[in-house]
């Protein structure tokens, strides 16, 4: 597998309005196309890559019959604002017989960056306004880990 620094300078990709790295590393990019309808090129600036140092993991469970509704709500109220501040965000879901577990993993440059987003101690759980309505129990903690290294493709935009 090639190191990102060894990739060609002009990497053709399908048209995509959101440019987030599949490895959770933010890329500064520009799109260019000469003719409408032509495939655009993603131009990466490897000098501006930010490596995550910290990972924050949140977990919550809903009754199985409320999972679809909570997934949509959580995305709008929780994930969208997180995407704007974190280096990367992954959301996971496990459907069980009577409940569904959701997990949000966010990648951060530093504890300080996380603190700016949370408005305080990043280890404190910050519940969304309607979490009490949806969740079986309100989570009491989040997990914060030191990011060591990513291997392979960890996320694909728009995957489900």
Reduce the DSSP state of residue 66 to 3 states and report it: helix
- The pLDDT value recorded for residue 38 is 52
The CATH-assigned architecture of domain 54-146 is: 2-Layer Sandwich (3.30)
Residue 154: count other Cβ atoms within 10 Å of its Cβ.
Answer: 15
- The pLDDT value recorded for residue 12 is 41
Residue 127: count other Cβ atoms within 10 Å of its Cβ.
Answer: 13
For the chain, 160 residues long, give each residue's pLDDT as a single digit of tens: 433 344 344 434 333 344 444 443 333 333 444 455 555 444 444 445 678 999 999 999 999 999 999 999 999 999 999 999 999 999 999 999 999 999 999 999 999 998 888 888 888 898 999 999 999 999 999 999 999 988 887 655 554 4
Q: Is the Cβ–Cβ distance between 125 and 78 less than 8 Å?
A: no
Exposure string for 46-67, b = 16+ CB within 10 A, e = fewer? eeebbebbbbbebebbbeeebb
What are the contacts of 14-17 at 24+ separation with CB within 8 A? 14/39, 15/39, 15/40, 16/157
User: Shortest CA distance to 142 belongs to which of 99, 117, 153?
Assistant: 117
Structure token digits, residue 16: 């995509």
Q: What is the pLDDT of residues 43-80, one digit of tens each?
A: 444 445 678 999 999 999 999 999 999 999 999 999 99
**Domain ranges across the chain:** 4-48, 54-146
- The pLDDT value recorded for residue 36 is 52
- The pLDDT value recorded for residue 45 is 42
- The pLDDT value recorded for residue 49 is 62
Residue with tokens 């090639």: 2
First-to-final CA distance of the chain: 25
Reduce the DSSP state of residue 112 to 3 states and report it: helix
- The pLDDT value recorded for residue 9 is 44
Dist CA 107 CA 86 (whole Å): 6
Dist CA 81 CA 96 (whole Å): 28
């Amino acid at each position: 597998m090639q190191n990102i620094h060894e990739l060609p300078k002009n990497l053709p990709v399908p048209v995509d309005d959101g440019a987030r790295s599949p490895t959770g590393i933010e890329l500064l990019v520009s799109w260019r196309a000469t003719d409408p309808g032509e495939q655009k090129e993603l131009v990466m600036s490897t000098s501006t890559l930010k490596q995550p140092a910290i990972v924050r993991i949140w977990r919550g469970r809903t009754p199985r019959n409320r999972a679809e509704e909570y997934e949509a709500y959580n995305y709008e109220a929780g994930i969208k604002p997180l995407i704007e501040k974190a280096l990367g965000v992954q959301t996971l879901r496990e459907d069980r017989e009577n409940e569904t577990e959701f997990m949000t993993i966010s990648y951060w440059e530093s504890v300080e960056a996380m603190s700016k987003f949370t408005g305080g101690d990043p280890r404190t759980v910050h519940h969304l306004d309607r979490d009490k309505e949806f969740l079986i129990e309100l989570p009491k903690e989040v997990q914060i880990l030191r990011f060591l290294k990513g291997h392979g493709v960890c996320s694909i935009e728009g995957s489900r």
